[in-house]
Structure 1
Amino acid sequence: MTPLSPAIAQPVVYIIDDDSSMRAALEDLLASVGLTTRAFASTRAFLAEPVMDAPGCLVLDVRMPEQSGMDFHRQMQELGLQLPVVFITGHGDIAMGVTAIKRGAIEFLTKPFRDQDLLDAIQQGLEQDRERRQRDAASAELHERWMLLSEGERNVARLVVQGLLNKQIAAQLNLSEIAVKVRRANAMRKMQVKSLADLVRITEKLEN
């Protein structure tokens, strides 16, 4: 099956909480607003299944027997997991919340929390992940276009965006000006740009 594009894939909210009653309550709440959920009793169970190819957000309990939510949040970067995180806890404090936010968490909610506060945080996380996925998709597309260029075309394009004239590029690469013009035109066609300004912007994105 062909994966859905980042723009149209249905979002998924992941829940990791060792309290089965809390998991069930969260699933019911999110289902009531039309959100798809996948719930797990531990971080180990979560890692045993692949993350779906869709915008997502992780609702993560802080205190769990096998691995704490705070420890797992630190581990996520090592694992390449980029899901936005909303912490929920019955045992948190201000210092813990500040630490979680500094590490990139969307929100740190202490139980009992208002349903709307959780829903608002989740929507913020889903929107953040949706935007990240769109940026990643656009970057991947630009990289694919760049790889369509021959090495000679890439060399010319790099010098073009540095502001060199065709004559200067020809001298530096030991080419004729006609060859430079042909490679420059091919590069712009393959990169799907119509102006030097567009080529400069795309090249900057590829380098960042």
Structure 2
Amino acid sequence: MSIIKIISIVDDDASVRTATEGLVRSLGFAAYGFASAEAFLASPLIDATACLITDVQMPGMSGLELQAELASQGRDIPVIFITAFPEERLRRQARAGGAIDFLAKPFDGSTMIRCIETAVGQSS
């Protein structure tokens, strides 16, 4: 029996969260959405998450701050960033922190699928 991998999606935009959850589920993964980085950090799913998809700019803690917090806790969760503001400085910061990719919204579904497959392969 195979264990279904959990993909967590953190985005303050409910429509983006819902659409991304649908894409993730269509690939056979479990998808859980969170409206904030703080909600994800408080979740019991944090240790079971095989891949994290997060927005960069959100109220409260940003996606980049979330990435740094996970690293400071010693959690090695592959991260895929999505953003409506694809600034090169932020892309470099995300990559320096080990991000799988940094995708501009609206992102191409096939690109996201490739990123998820890469991330899940790393977390196996």
Q: Normalised by the size of structure 1, how large is the TM-score?
A: 0.56
Give the letter aligned to residue 108 of structure 1: F
Q: 1:70 to 1:53 in 2, by over 3 A?
A: closer
Structure 2: distance between partners of 1:57 and 1:13: 5
When the two chains are superposed, the root-mean-square deviation of aligned CA atoms in Å is 1.7
Q: 1:79 to 1:52 in 2, by over 3 A?
A: closer
Question: Who is 1:48 aligned against?
Answer: 42
Q: Which has the higher helix share?
A: 1
- 5+ unaligned residues in a row in structure 1: which ranges? 131-208
1:114 pairs, out of 95, 104, 108, with 108
For residue 71 of structure 1, report the CA deviation from its aligned partner.
Answer: 1.2
For residue 112 of structure 1, report the CA deviation from its aligned partner.
Answer: 1.2
SS of 2:106 mapped into structure 1 = coil
For residue 49 of structure 1, report the CA deviation from its aligned partner.
Answer: 1.4
For residue 51 of structure 1, report the CA deviation from its aligned partner.
Answer: 2.8
1:67 matched to 2:61? The reply is: yes
Q: Which has the higher strand share?
A: 2
For residue 80 of structure 1, report the CA deviation from its aligned partner.
Answer: 2.4
Structure 2: distance between partners of 1:10 and 1:31: 10
Question: Who is 1:85 aligned against?
Answer: 79
Question: Who is 1:18 aligned against?
Answer: 12
Larger radius of gyration: 1
Structure 1: distance between partners of 2:81 and 2:46: 20
SS of 1:113 mapped into structure 2 = coil
Question: Who is 1:168 aligned against?
Answer: none
1:100 matched to 2:94? The reply is: yes
Question: Who is 2:33 aligned against?
Answer: 39
Structure 2: distance between partners of 1:114 and 1:90: 13
SS of 1:97 mapped into structure 2 = helix
Question: Who is 1:128 aligned against?
Answer: 122
Identity percentage of aligned residues: 37
Contact persistence 2:4–2:28 (CA under 8 A)? no
Contact persistence 2:37–2:66 (CA under 8 A)? yes
Structure 1: distance between partners of 2:11 and 2:84: 11
Question: Who is 1:173 aligned against?
Answer: none
SS of 2:52 mapped into structure 1 = strand
How many residue pairs get aligned? The number is: 124
- 5+ unaligned residues in a row in structure 2: which ranges? none
